[in-house]
Amino acid sequence: MSISHRFPQNPACPNRPSAPLSNFLRSLITAPPKSLRRTPVSAICHACKLDFSFLPRRSHAKAGQLAYPYRFYRIIELDDATQVTNPPVITTQPLSSQTVPMGGSVILSVTALGAPPLKYQWFKDGASMAGVTSASLVMVNATRRHSGVYVAVVSNPVGQTLSSNATVVVRVPEKLGWPTRLADGTFALTAGDADGGLLLPGDLPSFEAQVSTNLVNWMTLSNGLTLTNGLLLLRDPASTNSPSRFYRIIEP
């Protein structure tokens, strides 16, 4: 709502005051004309467009402008329930996909508009991240555990708005252990994240063991990988069938 109004002069208006303005306003309040009785308080007189609920002040017209007999003003303070009418609008979404190397940095951010107070909460793989309540999420020295799908929720007293998904992939190379030969002749090899992070059961499907006899043609070693104590364990019972075999563990 505007806090000031300019009303056009209308000398013919029957409500135009000839007595002091205070008497005129008092007469409007105590004995309003028919035009006022048929209109809401905010519309008052259709002829002169005066609103007696406003405080009076003499107008000072500049050259070339219409002179107004009176101008009225009011300033109102809206409560929070009136000011806040819509949930936030996210104007800048986080990057939809980021792939960073081990030890790198990840920055996710959103920009939102809306009635205050605006509050932010980040989620990773559907779980709320404790204490991560700003418009930007910064992760340094990234490890495999930082990989996942992130979203931000921006809220105000009216409602909340969900950002688009941001997928983060942290590439961590594997460090191979020493190969061993088990009692039954099975070839065995361990591998783990180069930064020393332990692998979890949910990480196992991301890996694939491959075998080759010439370093050119590679075949998948079916059921060749298991997880033990946070490390990958590669086993190849058929290793004795070839004079030489080469192995690699890849993460697509």
113-127 per-position pLDDT tens digit: 999 999 999 999 999
Compute the Cα dihedral for 234, 238, 240, 245 and give only its sign: negative
Helices (H), the chain: 21-30, 34-37, 80-83
234 and 200 Cβ atoms separated by less than 8 Å = no
Q: Are domains 85-171 and 174-250 of this chain identical in fold?
A: yes
90 φ, ψ (degrees, to nearest 5) = -85, 115
Measure Cα distances from 126 to 17, 95, 104, 123, 165 in Å.
68, 17, 23, 6, 11
The whole-number mean pLDDT for each consecutive block of 10 residues of the chain, a chain of 252 residues, reads 40 47 47 47 43 42 54 62 75 97 97 95 98 97 97 96 98 93 92 96 95 95 94 93 90 85
174 and 249 Cβ atoms separated by less than 8 Å = yes
67-104 per-position pLDDT tens digit: 556 677 777 655 544 456 799 999 999 999 999 999 99
What's the CATH number of domain 85-171, 3.30.360.10, 3.40.50.720, 2.60.40.10, 1.10.340.30? 2.60.40.10
23 φ, ψ (degrees, to nearest 5) = -65, -40
Listed by start position, the domains of the chain span 1-76, 85-171, 174-250
Architecture of domain 174-250: Sandwich (2.60)
pLDDT of 66: 55
